[in-house]
Structure 1
């Protein structure tokens, strides 16, 4: 596992729960898999205790800390996937270590922010309610904006491929001599600030990069003899571009809570897996109400070609017991739906 003091991607445990990956690839599942954006977060007391030891970016640079924070929600809840703890503005160094520590329990998701979202942070210098400075660039400096977005796209492609390489199991595929692994990983691209763009700006400044990343990552994985992995695009508040996102080269389209499940199904077609989209604030409701909302959501999406999630990340003051109620309700109601179908 260690070589010259570094963790190396070899001899990973066999994957025990493939439900998330099967759903992402459009295969039949016994129940609907579920995970939560920001599932490793401040709503967990153990997360707050661990994070109190050092500042955020120091934590992100520690593979051991990132690994522990990634695994904490898996110790509490029967989630069907883990997502590496990091931030869209930093490069995680914990993927290989975390793959080992997961012990094959569930797949590990890697991720990156999308070019427009990263560009907006770079220009604004932080968060913003309007992204006015970043949007001004698009209007005033369209050529420079395209150059910056192209540079970010190049970096993100290498970054995502590097995440797969860090989590790729050594081995030989019979007859081809390639270093491959079972699909133990997925990738999610976060276009978190899509909602600050209108349809025309999204089509010009965001969608081309989103499409390019999917195509180039898949081509580079093939060229580098790395395993193909399902890819998820989550463009928050970009419901106006749902058809385009469904045809952008990703196996899964993540949805925020502003989209009706039935409409999303109709607009994306039968060959796309959908992910989402319970309002995170629904987890403030009593547990019984959470179960009712989950049941309604599942009936809207259907239990196949579907990954349950929230329409955005978990909020810091959400009760962990209510997160558990959400996860349990997905498993219980989706199994019931499968039996009745």
Structure 2
């Protein structure tokens, strides 16, 4: 593998000194870019794009051609594991992901296979290898997965949900069934992320998109406990480097202290928690990633720069901060505004990294 030319992202996650604050964007390869939309049209549909290693590589690299980003993230979807379990993932126009089969009973969960990532999800691993080779050491490659709880919500609800009726009914009425499902998913996610690491991912992120819909005790029992199990089962050294792990629970700012005890190297923050407060609470234990509201990118360049400056000032001096949006970039953002954001992070953060 090529020597890494820009490792500030990995260094910041491990709270090592950096020259400027590294930055990347969740969903940085996505629908706000006209070149992405052209490649997706060439693929035919979203999953065909995900399952074509060359096209997945192409869209992964597109934002790096536009912006001075410090990391690339694998182009894929969090629902690849449920799809490999035979639930039949498809995308409904205007409604997002859907499954042909849903899980509602103990028998449904018992019949669910645990896929082998190397064979059942080989298209993802082929994409990781292709992207890592094409990067040629330019920046690190991030692998990712959904959290067991988040994957379970889609599998039980059959798609997106506003009230999480079925998953919460399973959790409260038949907790043993819920735990059996989450156990299978934790095994699957651990294997999936480890195979991504073996294939070339240099850091991994666990997306717990729906952990924030739980009460504190239910979050610890049905989401955090399984993410901690995964963290403990991950490969942490590969190719002579530590593999950093990022946990991101959307709307999870109230649980940072317990998240920091999982063994993860960094915690992702959405925009509902001030980063100075987060650093005060957990900053000596873990790095922090975040946390600008993606909607700020609709504002003027001057307003974007002011928001970046405020977050940098709140975090303060020293390392351990990876700048990101608090969630994925919106599809209607002007691509030039994303460039203003990335450049502002590098330009305005240098003052916080002087020795």
TM-score of the superposed pair, with normalisation by structure 2:
0.85
* Aligned partner (choices 80, 88, 94) of residue 78 of structure 2: 88
* Aligned partner (choices 267, 279, 286) of residue 265 of structure 1: 279
Cα offset for 1:132? 1.8
* Change beyond 3 A, Cα 1:237–1:65: same
Deviation readout 1:156-189 (Å, 9 max, x if unpaired):
000000001111xxxxxxxxxxxxxxxx710000
Q: Tell whether the 8 Å contact from 1:31 to 1:331 is kept in structure 2 after alignment.
A: yes
Deviation readout 1:34-70 (Å, 9 max, x if unpaired):
0000000000000001101211111111100110010
Q: Distance in 2 between matches of 1:239 and 1:35?
A: 20
Partner of 2:3, secondary structure, is coil
Q: Tell whether the 8 Å contact from 1:194 to 1:238 is kept in structure 2 after alignment.
A: yes
* Aligned partner (choices 211, 233, 237) of residue 247 of structure 2: 233
Using the TM superposition, name which of 110-119 and 191-200 deviates more.
Answer: 191-200
Matched, 1:211 2:228: yes
TM-score of the superposed pair, with normalisation by structure 1:
0.88
Partner of 1:94, secondary structure, is helix
* Aligned partner (choices 18, 37, 48) of residue 26 of structure 2: 37
Q: Distance in 2 between matches of 1:295 and 1:127?
A: 35
Counterpart of 1:21 in structure 2 is 10
Deviation readout 1:63-97 (Å, 9 max, x if unpaired):
00110010000000000000000100115230011
Matched, 1:329 2:319: no
Counterpart of 2:53 in structure 1 is 63
Partner of 1:189, secondary structure, is strand
> How many residues get paired?
310
Deviation readout 1:283-324 (Å, 9 max, x if unpaired):
111001100110000011125210000000001000110100
RMSD value, Cα = 1.5
Matched, 1:132 2:165: yes
Deviation readout 1:223-278 (Å, 9 max, x if unpaired):
x9985400000011012211001111100100000001111011113131100000
* Aligned partner (choices 44, 48, 68) of residue 37 of structure 2: 48
Cα offset for 1:337? 2.8
Counterpart of 1:7 in structure 2 is none
Matched, 1:75 2:89: no
Runs of 4+ in 1 over 2 A off after TM superposition: 224-228, 336-339
Counterpart of 2:216 in structure 1 is 199
Q: Tell whether the 8 Å contact from 1:165 to 1:226 is kept in structure 2 after alignment.
A: no
Cα offset for 1:279? 0.2
* Change beyond 3 A, Cα 1:297–1:320: same
- Structure 1: stretches of 5+ with no match in the other structure: 1-11, 168-183
Q: Tell whether the 8 Å contact from 1:130 to 1:196 is kept in structure 2 after alignment.
A: no
Cα offset for 1:105? 0.7
* Aligned partner (choices 314, 327, 344) of residue 300 of structure 1: 314
Q: Distance in 1 between matches of 2:149 and 2:286?
A: 24
Counterpart of 1:113 in structure 2 is 146
Q: Distance in 1 between matches of 2:39 and 2:333?
A: 18
Counterpart of 1:285 in structure 2 is 299
